[in-house]
Amino acid sequence: FREDGFLVLEHFFTVEECDSMRNQIQRIIAEMEVPPHCRTEFSTKEEEQLQAQGSSDYFLTSGDKIRFFFEKGVLDERGNFLIPKEKSISKIGHALHAHDPVFKQITHSSKVQELGRKLGLERPVVVQSMYIFKQPGIGGEVTPHQDATFLHTEPLGRVLGFWIALEDATRENGCLWFIPGSHTSGVTRRMVRAAPGTSTCVEFVGSEPAYDDSQFIPLPISKGGLILIHGEVVHKSDLNSSDSSRHVFTFHVMEAKDTSWSKENWLQPTPELPFPSLYT
C-alpha cells in the first residue's frame, strides 16, 4: 500500500454481506423521492461537473444526507426519467454510513476497524460514503483523478478510500485502473467551494495533467473484495459497455490526528453530523 498507493484484499467481505448491501439499496431506491428540479446527472468531466453538481445545492448539502444522482442522458429537459428510475441511477451518497443501519454496520465492522489499526490510523473518522451502480451499457466513465482533489487535508496523505466490490468488477464492466506509485507527488487540482454569488457552488483550481494510458494497470476484483485507495493515487474507470452492472459501496476515512480538513472542501461536517469515529 505504501509503495503503490493501493492495496487489493480479495474476499474481504462475504457474499452474504455483499448481498445484504445490495438488498438494502433496492429498498432505498423503492422509497426514493427526488423532485424533478433536484435530479442531477453525475459526471466526472470538469465542465459537466460544474454545470450539474456545481450549480446544485442538492449536491453541496448532501454530505450529511442520503441523496440520489443519475447517469447522463436518462432525464428529459424537465427532469423526467426516460428509462426506469432504478436503471437510471448513478450513485447514492454521501451519508449512508451514518443514516442506514446496514451500511453503518459494514463501515464500522470489526474487520474494517482492525484494518485501520494495522494501517496505523490513530483517530480515523468517516467523512463520506457512496453506493455506485455503474449501470449496464450506460455506467459512465470516471476520468483520471485523485480523491484528495475533492477531499483536501493539510497535511496531505490523510485520506483513505475503502472500495468494496458488491459484484465482480471486470475490465468489461468498468473495474478500477491505477497508476502505481502516483500518490507521492501531491495534487495538481482542487475542487473548492466558490465565493458566494458566483454562478456555480464549486470551482476547480489548478488542472489535472494529461496521463499516459499506458501508465495505468487494471485491478479486476471479485465480489466481496476490498481495494484500499490512497487519497493521492491517480485512478480511473472506463464506461461500462457490458450488460452486467458493477455495484460498489465505498467510503472515505480521514486520519483526524494532527490533520485539518479544508474549509474549502465541498463536503463539510455539520452540527447534525460531525464526522463519526471509525472506531466504536
Q: From residue 189, how far is each of 47, 147, 178 by CA, in Å?
A: 14, 10, 18
Asked if pLDDT for residue 51 goes beyond 70, the answer is no
What whole-number distance in Å separates Cα of residue 219 and Cα of residue 60? Answer: 31
- Picking from 43-57, 85-99, 216-230, which range would have the lowest pLDDT averaged per residue? 43-57
Query: What's the pLDDT tens digit per position in 96-151?
Result: 999 999 999 999 999 999 999 999 999 999 999 999 999 998 888 999 999 999 99
Query: What's the pLDDT tens digit per position in 12-38?
Result: 999 999 999 999 999 999 998 887 777
Cell numbers 477531499: residue: 151
Q: What is the mean pLDDT of residues 223-240?
A: 97
Local confidence band at 54 (pLDDT 50, 70, 90 cut-offs): very low
Question: 6-261 is classed in which CATH architecture?
Answer: Sandwich (2.60)
> pTM higher than 0.85 for the full model?
yes
Q: Which three cell numbers stand for residue 171?
A: 475490465
Count Cβ atoms below 10 Å from residue 176 Cβ, excluding itself: 24
Query: What's the pLDDT tens digit per position in 254-268?
Result: 999 999 999 999 999
Residue pair 119/113 in contact by the 8 Å Cβ criterion: no
Pairing mode of beta strands 202-206, 159-165? unpaired
Residues recorded for the chain: 280
Domain boundaries, the chain: 6-261
Kindly state the DSSP code that residue 240 receives in the 8-state scheme.
B
- Picking from 43-47, 51-55, 169-173, 237-241, which range would have the lowest pLDDT averaged per residue? 51-55
Q: What is the mean pLDDT of residues 216-227?
A: 98
- Picking from 54-68, 125-139, 164-178, 223-237, which range would have the lowest pLDDT averaged per residue? 54-68
Cis peptide leading into residue 155 (ω within 30°): yes
Query: What's the pLDDT tens digit per position in 59-98?
Result: 888 999 999 988 888 888 888 888 888 888 999 999 999 9
List the one residue out of 139, 128, 147 whose CA is nearest residue 208.
Answer: 147
List the one residue out of 52, 140, 119, 129 whose CA is nearest residue 95.
Answer: 129
What whole-number distance in Å separates Cα of residue 192 and Cα of residue 267? Answer: 9
Pairing mode of beta strands 6-9, 226-230? antiparallel
